[in-house]
Amino acid sequence: MTSFNLRIYLLISLALFGASTEFAQSQIVQNQSAQNQSPRINSLDLLAQFMKTTQSGVSHFSQVVSSPTQEGRKAKVKNSEGVFAFSRPNHFRFDYVKPFVQTIVADGQTLWIYDVDISQITARAQDKALGSTPASLIASAPDLSALEKDFVLTNEPDLGNLQWVQATPKLKDSQLHFVRIGLSPSADQVSLSKLEILDAFGQKSVMTFDRFDTNPNRINATTFKFTPPQGVEVIRP
């Protein structure tokens, strides 16, 4: 798998699960209170509920990517942040604002990556860019049973006031080792507060979300439309 596909592979893991967050401390306290008053809901059931009720969204995100530790060398850590939007099944958009400005858009047909600093755009057919990776298959998954065709889903112990599901690809040659999904239940919705992604090379990506807007009316077809700016080189590998 090329570095282009690996980068998109990891990002899609986020986009296809979607995100729904309200992770302030007051929310955590409310969630803990609600859980103390009622039986704990199975994490897989929470994920099923999230997939059913959250069809689109917009959220601020922060991302920390850590390289594997090597003898005599410290692990490299990269921090970034931006705004993420998605609409099931095949549309999403990342607008990175720090440390570099970058736009990644999947419009259902084409996957666009616009690197502003170098004034360059890479465009590929969306189905070819993602190929048959498990992450690309999640884009069409309407429910939990569809996910289970490509992933082994397991309940994980609660940690950090979140309930966790681990998704492990069934493909033996997958570049994705697993995705851990941190869920935060409240009285009226299930929120996906954090994603932990580990690739086959030991690189870990942790994504956290806030200021999420669930199923907003402001998301429409133009949200995922990308028009290359005049004069910017477009590369089509």
pLDDT (tens digit, 9 = 90+) per residue, 104-130? 998 989 999 999 999 999 999 987 776
The pLDDT value recorded for residue 30 is 40
The pLDDT value recorded for residue 134 is 45
Pairing of strands 120-125, 233-235: parallel
Query: Residue 151 has which token pair?
Result: 């992933």
Cβ-based neighbour number of residue 2 at 10 Å: 9
pTM above 0.85, yes or no: no
Closest to 83 in 3D by CA, of 100, 110, 65, 62: 62
CA atoms within 13 A on the CB side of 77: 5
- Structural domains in the chain plus CATH codes: 3-235 (2.50.20.10)
Confidence label for 217 from pLDDT (cuts 50, 70 and 90) = very high
- Return phi, psi of residue 87, to 5°: -145, 120
The length of the chain is: 237
